[in-house]
Amino acid sequence: MKIYKNIPLKKYNTFGLDYKADCMIHIKTEKEATAFFNGEVSWQKPLLIIGGGSNILFTSDFKGTVLYPELKGMKIEEEETENGYVIVSAGAGIIWDDLVEWTVIKGFGGLENLSLIPGKVGATPVQNIGAYGVEVRESILKVKTISTDDGSMRIFNNAECQFGYRNSIFKTLEKNRFLVTRVYYKLTTSPSLNLYYDSLKQEVNMLGKETLSNVRQAVINIRQRKLPDPELVGNAGSFFKNSVVTSAVADKLKKEYPEMPVYEEREGYKKLASGWLIDKCGWKGKRIGDAGVHDEQALVLVNYGKATGKEIFNLSQEIKKSVYEKFGVDLEREVEVIGVI
């Protein structure tokens, strides 16, 4: 366990915001995590667990303790080739895309559509990450955690994680109460590919055969074309979630704006592309100081260099306001705002 005081957070968040935390603790093993939470170490509350910091917007210095899990290891736990599945596990501190690459090389299917999503393994069940018609909940078997109350270990099976759209029990009922230490994924050894998205299918076909590695490569190609690289321009991917509204609201809007993309959701509800709504309000490519809206993807807010977290937050408020005024739709942030606003 390593303890750092008054630590700059710039390299710990993909917006590249230059705030500080009073204290940061790097944890490498489950034993260290247990010791940390069962009272053997004294630390200052509040607590923030951080992975790659790719879904976080800091708006001020963090007056508390940041816990940075560095638990490593990718492992095949069980291989049932006859039944066509394999269980792999990875430590919370593993870079997510390293795990995806490893599984694709091994020929295990399930994670390939989620290639190149930034961040660490530990956040994947928290966020229920998703892309190109796939959500990670479809592959998660169980999640190993340590209670932040007393250091005890608890395993959550898939149902107990209460996964929803970019959501889970770790973001709602049990927020900040569990440190994810290891995640177990059930993958298939005879993959059936998900090419539901036309753009993905076309890209795969351009690469050649419909194989796991071509799906991964196609996803990487599309993402690299469409999304800003946080190494070059600070951002946290989609700043807002797509908007789930009642079918009545969606149908009324569709009548007014026939070109508006609308997707089926659970019964009685439809999903609107929030990026489209933001674009229609004229925000795409707009910039206020160094805080801006990406010129290719209106859902992504960016830091062109010296924006503060508050400036990015204020921009998001302006966007929310104008989308509400024009469409009556209340955008929900996907990015978690941490700090004083």
Ligand X SMILES: Cc1cc2nc3c(=O)[nH]c(=O)nc-3n(C[C@H](O)[C@H](O)[C@H](O)COP(=O)(O)OP(=O)(O)OC[C@H]3O[C@@H](n4cnc5c(N)ncnc54)[C@H](O)[C@@H]3O)c2cc1C
Q: Which residues contact ligand X (rule: CB under 6 A)? A: 14, 49-56, 69, 92, 117-120, 122-124, 126-127, 129-131, 166, 170, 179-180, 227, 230, 235-237, 336
Which residue number, 87 or 116, has a Cβ lying nearer to ligand X? 116
Cβ of residue 161: shortest distance to ligand X, in angstroms?
12
**Cβ–Cβ under 8 Å, residues 114 and 134:** yes
Q: What angle do CA 159, 194, 106 make, to 5 degrees?
A: 85
Query: Which of 137, 166, 182, 216 is labelled catalytic?
Result: 166
Cβ of residue 25: shortest distance to ligand X, in angstroms?
13
Place of tokens 């890209």: 203
Cβ of residue 202: shortest distance to ligand X, in angstroms?
19
Which residue number, 66 or 187, has a Cβ lying nearer to ligand X? 66
Class of residue 207 by CB neighbours under 10 A (exposed 0-12, middle 13-18, buried 19+):
middle
Which residue number, 122 or 275, has a Cβ lying nearer to ligand X? 122
Which residue number, 223 or 254, has a Cβ lying nearer to ligand X? 223
Cβ of residue 135: shortest distance to ligand X, in angstroms?
8
Which residue number, 169 or 272, has a Cβ lying nearer to ligand X? 169
Write 163-166 long-range contacts (CB < 8 A, 24+): 163/125, 163/128, 163/135, 163/137, 164/128, 165/128, 165/130, 165/241, 165/242, 165/244, 166/127, 166/128, 166/129, 166/130, 166/241, 166/334
Cβ of residue 81: shortest distance to ligand X, in angstroms?
30
79 is catalytic: no
Write 171-178 long-range contacts (CB < 8 A, 24+): 171/126, 171/127, 176/46, 176/47, 176/49, 176/148, 177/147, 177/148, 177/149, 178/145, 178/146, 178/147, 178/148, 178/154
Query: Which of 238, 243, 274, 316 is labelled catalytic?
Result: 238
166 is catalytic: yes
266 is catalytic: no
Helices 96-106 and 212-226, packing angle to 10 deg: 150
Q: Write out the catalytic residue numbers.
A: 166, 238, 334
